[in-house]
């Protein structure tokens, strides 16, 4: 009888392992939650990056977008994939797309140095020092990019770095008037 009691924890552990493996095999690893698509950007005011500091100026995403279709990019100077996608953001700016940056949990001086080194594709950079806006947007990490219509509604979410023309096309299609909900 005592032998069976010694084996019970092992049986329970094996059963839990089987359940976990079964769940993992049914889960789609490419799934990216887009819960905010079709929703308004959060009404949250943040400091604006000015001369390497979180300046006294405050803005929110809707005001910063100035009533025009906009791409909002959440990035950080410490984020390696953000360096990879940076040329694509510069290309968006060259195409005349308004791009707003949100420096996520980053030191303003490090953000300014990052932009000085790689170029600044952003019309404005908001400083999200504590990550609250990232949480409100449902961000799972950096980089993440959103296409936002002129009324502040998210039309497309892209998780991870923007690496090629297909990613750029998906974002710019989200800025097209036929995608707007109004």
4-29 pLDDT, tens digit each = 677 777 788 888 778 777 766 766 55
Does residue 139 carry a pLDDT above 90?
no
pLDDT in tens, 54-63: 666 666 666 6
Residue 62 has a pLDDT of 66
Residue 104 has a pLDDT of 95
CA atoms within 13 A on the CB side of 64: 30
In terms of Cα–Cα distance, which of 144, 114, 111, 152 is closest to 129? Answer: 111
Least confident interval from 7-16, 51-60, 89-98, 103-112: 51-60
| Of 3-12, 49-58, 108-117, 169-178, highest mean pLDDT | 108-117
Locate the DSSP E strands across the chain: 46-50, 53-59, 70-75, 98-104, 124-128, 144-148, 154-159
Separation in Å, CA 8 to CA 11, 17, 48: 5, 14, 59
Mean local confidence (pLDDT), 124-149:
90
CA atoms within 13 A on the CB side of 62: 10
Q: Which pLDDT band holds residue 125 (cuts at 50, 70, 90)?
A: very high
Mean pLDDT of the chain: 84
Residue 176 has a pLDDT of 81
In terms of Cα–Cα distance, which of 64, 47, 52, 133 is closest to 98? Answer: 64
Least confident interval from 91-95, 126-130, 166-170, 177-181: 177-181
Q: Alpha-carbon distance 146 to 153, whole Å?
A: 10
């Amino acid at each position: 009888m005592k032998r069976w009691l010694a084996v019970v924890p092992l049986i329970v552990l094996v059963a839990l392992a089987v359940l976990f493996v079964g769940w993992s095999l049914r889960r789609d690893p490419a799934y990216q939650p887009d819960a905010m698509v079709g929703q308004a950007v959060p009404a949250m005011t943040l400091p604006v990056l000015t001369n390497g500091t979180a300046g006294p100026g405050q803005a929110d995403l809707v005001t910063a977008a100035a009533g025009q279709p906009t791409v909002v990019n959440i990035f950080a100077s410490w984020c390696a994939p953000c360096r990879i996608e940076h040329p694509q953001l510069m290309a968006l700016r060259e195409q005349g797309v308004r791009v707003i940056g949100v420096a996520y949990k980053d030191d303003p001086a490090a953000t300014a140095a990052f932009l000085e080194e790689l170029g600044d594709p952003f019309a404005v950079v908001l400083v999200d020092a504590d990550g609250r806006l990232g949480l409100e947007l449902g961000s799972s990490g950096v980089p993440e990019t959103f296409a936002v219509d002129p009324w502040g509604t998210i039309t497309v979410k892209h998780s991870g770095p923007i690496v090629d023309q297909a990613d750029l096309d998906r974002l710019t299609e989200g800025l097209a008037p036929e995608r707007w909900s109004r």
